[in-house]
Copies of this chain bind each other. A is one copy, B any other.
Amino acid sequence: MLRLFYAKGWVSGTGGGICGLTDAGLLVAPTGVHKERVQPGDLFLVDPGTGDTIAAPDDAGLRPSECTPIFRAIVAARGVGSVIHSHALAAVLAADLAKDDALTIRDLEMLKGLGVSNLEEHVVAVIDNTERESQLTADVERVLADGRYDRAAAILVRDHGAYIWGGDVWDAKKHAEVYHFLFEATNARRR
């Protein structure tokens, strides 16, 4: 599936990532590698509660994605099974349109792909980027606890991209397609 995301431009330049929850723990892609080349044997298995590595790839040079604490925070707060981290340009440009640290999306049928009404004003939190990805965790936890964003399945990070989640890997992929469309449409209309 990372090859598909690569073809879509969500994970170019070794950026972006994905995780998925299994009975055994949270599967996490390695950091700093060409995402279209990742093999199943390259994934880390992480304890979603403690963040400890349960099983590591044979290749000792690999480290788990820096997003892991954020993935864990989202999985814990939302009870979901999969999170995608996108570096798409459409997400970066959509975050540029934020007012008061939120992007409002409206008047688009595609909102239904999130399980909400197309009449809704859908509000996505936008947080500032930080020097290290792990420093984002506190802000991610803050907006996950903020009732204004209860209906969103995404958080935008300025100059950086988006975290997008769903019940399982296919649900997260569906939400990622929907949000990228919503970002592109909102960008095109504001231009």
CB neighbours (8 Å) of A113 from chain B are: 13-15
Which secondary structure dominates chain A's binding surface? Answer: helix
| Contact between chains at A110 and B15 (CB < 8 Å) | yes
| Interchain residue pairs with CB less than 8 A apart (11) | A12-B180, A12-B181, A13-B113, A14-B177, A15-B178, A87-B110, A89-B184, A109-B129, A109-B161, A117-B131, A118-B159
* Closest B residue, CB atoms, query A113: B13
Q: Decide yes or no whether A143 CB sits under 8 A from chain B.
A: no
CB neighbours (8 Å) of A159 from chain B are: 107-109, 118
Q: Decide yes or no whether A70 CB sits under 8 A from chain B.
A: no
Contact digits for A4-41, partner B, Cβ 8 Å, 1 yes 0 no: 00000000111100000000000000000010000000
Please report the C-alpha to C-alpha distance between residue A108 and residue B109 in the assembled complex, in whole angstroms: 29
| Contact between chains at B110 and A13 (CB < 8 Å) | yes
CB neighbours (8 Å) of A109 from chain B are: 15, 87, 129, 157, 159-161
In A168-191, the 8 Å CB interface with B consists of 170, 173-175, 177-178, 180-181, 184-185, 188-189, 191
| Contact between chains at A92 and B108 (CB < 8 Å) | yes
In A82-135, the 8 Å CB interface with B consists of 87, 89, 92-93, 96, 107-110, 112-113, 117-119, 129, 131
Please report the C-alpha to C-alpha distance between residue A146 and residue B117 in the assembled complex, in whole angstroms: 30
